[in-house]
């Protein structure tokens, strides 16, 4: 607080006058003291504010480093089911004649981080949220809460094995329907580091292609996805938009999509890639033959219902 004395000088309340009641000296010392105290008051709160700011930054960094509750998905690798995986044929047939198709049939995958055994941080999830080539999915929508890495891998492997078994059954049955002698045929399938059931349709289609003498693909690259059951019915899968991007990246010009996934396909097909709607192995094989023969314009594609 300041007050003004009778001679018009300004001094701080309670400050002693070194000259007593005799002639007051110049106001400079009092003014100097006032500036010093004002500066002290101005800076006195800064260390506390800096400390609070530093703590806030540290807490933010720690939060970003914590494991995220989301799964980050990106387009994964593709695999030609008519080719090899690390030197081993993806589809091997014994006891029946096989034929070589000069085209490619690509199964497609999604890379997933944030699943058991492959954690992601909140920072990585935030980055994925801002990247249009990545997708965020709540963990509970991908795997059961509490599932550990061993359980997750075991379930994924079992789904792949079941998918391959169904693909063999459906593929052999359809090849027999086409007039191929498959009695005594033994089929094994091999792909490294891929799990889940979504490649079933492409396994079955690849098997039928190998057992028939026609060059169905017409040397083109056709990708696709979808589960399959023993009767050849094609089912929906997850991450189809990411799988289409992976297919386009690896040279596919056609993409066989489950009819039950059409809602996720419409508006998401990359430029230069043409989708074909399929509901069965028969649909997929018919589409492949028409693509190879240059008659694909009439094939159905996904539309908004």
Give yes or no: residues 104 and 214 share one domain: yes
Judge whether 243 counts as a catalytic residue: yes
Residue 204 in contact with residue 170, Cβ under 8 Å? yes
Judge whether 30 counts as a catalytic residue: no
Give yes or no: residues 285 and 224 share one domain: yes
Question: Does a structural domain hold residue 208?
Answer: yes
Catalytic one among 68, 163, 233, 243?
Answer: 243
- Provide the residue-wise pLDDT of the chain in tens; the chain has 305 residues: 444 444 444 333 443 443 444 444 444 445 555 655 655 655 555 666 777 778 787 888 887 888 889 999 999 999 999 999 989 999 999 999 999 999 999 999 999 998 888 889 988 999 989 998 899 989 888 888 888 989 988 999 999 999 999 999 999 999 999 999 999 999 999 988 788 999 999 999 999 999 999 989 999 999 999 999 999 999 999 999 999 999 999 999 999 999 999 999 999 999 999 999 999 999 999 999 999 999 999 999 999 87
Give yes or no: residues 35 and 99 share one domain: no
Question: Does a structural domain hold residue 139?
Answer: no
Query: What domain count does the chain have?
Result: 2
Give yes or no: residues 61 and 192 share one domain: no
Query: What pLDDT score was predicted for residue 111?
Result: 93
Question: Does a structural domain hold residue 304?
Answer: no
Please give the model's pTM, rounded to 2 decimal places. 0.78
Give yes or no: residues 81 and 100 share one domain: yes
The boundaries of the domain holding residue 44 are 31-65
Query: What pLDDT score was predicted for residue 305?
Result: 72
Among residues 228, 212, 104, which one has the least CA distance to residue 167? 228
Question: Does a structural domain hold residue 275?
Answer: yes
CATH number, domain containing residue 256: 3.30.230.10
Catalytic one among 163, 198, 217, 280?
Answer: 198
Query: What pLDDT score was predicted for residue 21?
Result: 42
Give yes or no: residues 221 and 80 share one domain: yes
Give yes or no: residues 44 and 97 share one domain: no
| Single residue among 9, 44, 65 that ends a domain in this structure | 65
Question: Does a structural domain hold residue 261?
Answer: yes
Q: How many CB atoms lie within 10 A of CB 288?
A: 28
Question: Does a structural domain hold residue 104?
Answer: yes
Give yes or no: residues 47 and 168 share one domain: no
Residue 288 in contact with residue 209, Cβ under 8 Å? yes
Query: What pLDDT score was predicted for residue 141?
Result: 87
Q: How many CB atoms lie within 10 A of CB 18?
A: 9
Give yes or no: residues 58 and 165 share one domain: no
Query: What pLDDT score was predicted for residue 34?
Result: 65
Give yes or no: residues 169 and 279 share one domain: yes
Question: Does a structural domain hold residue 257?
Answer: yes
């Amino acid at each position: 607080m300041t007050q003004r004395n009778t001679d018009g000088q300004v001094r701080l309340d309670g400050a002693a006058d070194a000259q007593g009641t005799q002639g007051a000296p110049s106001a400079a010392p009092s003014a100097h003291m006032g500036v010093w105290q004002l500066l002290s008051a101005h800076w006195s709160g800064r260390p506390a504010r800096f400390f609070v700011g530093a703590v806030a930054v540290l807490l933010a960094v720690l939060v970003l480093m914590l494991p995220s509750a989301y799964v980050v998905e990106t387009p994964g690798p593709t695999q030609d089911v008519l080719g090899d995986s690390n030197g081993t044929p993806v589809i091997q047939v014994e006891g029946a004649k096989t034929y070589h198709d000069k085209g490619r049939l690509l199964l497609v995958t999604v890379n997933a981080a944030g699943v058991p055994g492959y954690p992601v941080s909140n920072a990585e999830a935030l980055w994925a949220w801002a990247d249009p080539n990545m997708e965020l999915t709540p963990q509970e929508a991908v795997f059961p809460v509490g599932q550990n890495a061993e359980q997750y891998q075991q379930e994924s492997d079992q789904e792949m094995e079941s998918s391959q078994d169904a693909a063999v059954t459906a593929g052999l049955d359809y090849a027999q329907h086409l007039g191929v002698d498959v009695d005594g045929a033994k089929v094994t399938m091999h792909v490294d580091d891929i799990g889940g059931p979504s490649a079933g349709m492409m396994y079955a289609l690849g098997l039928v292609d190998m057992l028939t003498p026609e060059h169905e693909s017409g040397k083109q690259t056709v990708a696709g996805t979808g589960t399959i059951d023993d009767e050849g019915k094609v089912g929906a899968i997850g991450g189809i938009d990411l799988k289409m991007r992976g297919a386009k990246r690896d040279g596919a010009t056609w993409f066989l999509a489950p009819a039950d996934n059409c809602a996720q396909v419409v508006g998401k097909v990359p430029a230069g890639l043409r989708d074909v709607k399929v509901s069965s192995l028969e649909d997929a094989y018919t589409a492949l033959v028409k693509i190879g023969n240059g008659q694909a314009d009439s094939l159905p594609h996904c539309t908004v219902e």
